[in-house]
Amino acid sequence: MDGKVRTVWKRMQSVVTRAEVHFEVDKEERKSAKLGVLLLSTGKAVVGVVACVNSMAQTYPFEKKLKLVVLGDSCVGKTSLLFAYTGNRLLENYTATVLENWAVTVSIDQKQYTVNLFDTAGQEDYAHIRCLSYPQTDVFLMCFSLVDPKTLESCKVVWLPEIRKYVGSQTPIVLVGTKEDLVESTPPSEKVDPVTAQQVADSIGAVSFVQCSSLTLRGVKRVFDESLLAAIGRSPLEPERKPCCCIG
């Protein structure tokens, strides 16, 4: 085991250990979290981020745990998607991710969950590290760029076989099309038709297909709302219902 793998493995061990520890967080600490109270009302559930900690996984008392893993080719915007959701500033310069994770606390149907978000490397060289994050995943966010058809093809020939190899076929998948803000200015031959993307979603057994932009934030909340509902075995949001949210 080389040094880089050993470092990541030790880090993952610390995530598991610390995730098993229940501890109190006083009100002042909760107020200092990067995200305030956020409630999302839908016809099927109430989903909301109530706290965000950009650090290793943490669990509050009486909370259930969920694990979301984001995967896809390099440069499709996986890290930017997580940054957009957790309220962090978008990266101006691309830096390849090896393995990172965040912890957020969410409320679904008035039940509290600690959600661990894993950001994985898309490069083939890091496959031996990436696969360490797959076990016990509750939902996979399989990402591709809406302005790079090759990344959608990778979902079928690279990412689906990889997760099936390590965790089987029971874990739900949400297919995520990123960089929606670039679609309008991209020639037709260089972008993905939504109908084609939906066909791929159906062929790989994804529970839903969602388009989003981490720059404009359009669709970002829906990506994670769909994913969280899939993680707990709930049906996807109805397309015609638009989430309504308030920040307190």
Question: Token pair of 40, please?
Answer: 């999302």
pTM over 0.75: no
| pLDDT for residue 98 is more than 70 | no
pLDDT at 3: 54
Q: Please state the rounded mean pLDDT for residues 33-59.
A: 36
DSSP assignment letter at 243: P
pLDDT at residue 194, rounded to an integer: 96
Torsion of CA 150, 203, 44, 114, to 10 degrees: -60
Q: What pLDDT does residue 198 have?
A: 98
Output b/e per residue, 119-152; b: 16+ Cβ within 10 A: bbbbeeebeebbebbbeebbbbbbbbbbbbbebb
Q: In this model, does residue 28 exceed pLDDT 60?
A: no
At residue 247, does pLDDT exceed 60? no
Tell me which residue of 46, 49, 58 sits closest to 84, measured CA to CA: 49
Can you tell me the distance from the alpha carbon of 107 to that of 118, in angstroms, rounded to the nearest whole number? 19
pLDDT band for position 19 (cuts 50, 70, 90): very low
Range in 26-35, 134-143, 171-180 with the lowest mean pLDDT: 26-35
**Banded model confidence at residue 203, pLDDT cuts 50, 70, 90:** very high
In order of start, what are the domains of the chain with their CATH numbers? Answer: 3-247 (3.40.50.300)
For residue 45, pLDDT over 50 is answered with no
pLDDT at 32 exceeding the cut of 80: no
* Beta-strand pair 111-120/99-108: antiparallel
Decide if 219 contacts 211 (C-beta within 8 A).
yes
Mean of per-residue pLDDT scores for the chain? 75
Q: How far is Cα 84 from Cα 88, in angstroms, rounded to an integer? A: 6
The pLDDT value recorded for residue 52 is: 40
**pLDDT greater than 50 at residue 152:** yes
Looking at the predicted structure, is the pLDDT value of residue 113 above 80? Answer: yes
Pairing, β 46-53 against β 99-108: antiparallel
Q: 59, 17 in Cβ contact below 8 A? A: no
Q: pLDDT band at residue 97, thresholds of 50, 70 and 90?
A: low
Q: What is the mean pLDDT of residues 131-150?
A: 95
Sign, CA dihedral 104-79-149-137, equals negative
| SS3 (DSSP) at 59 | strand
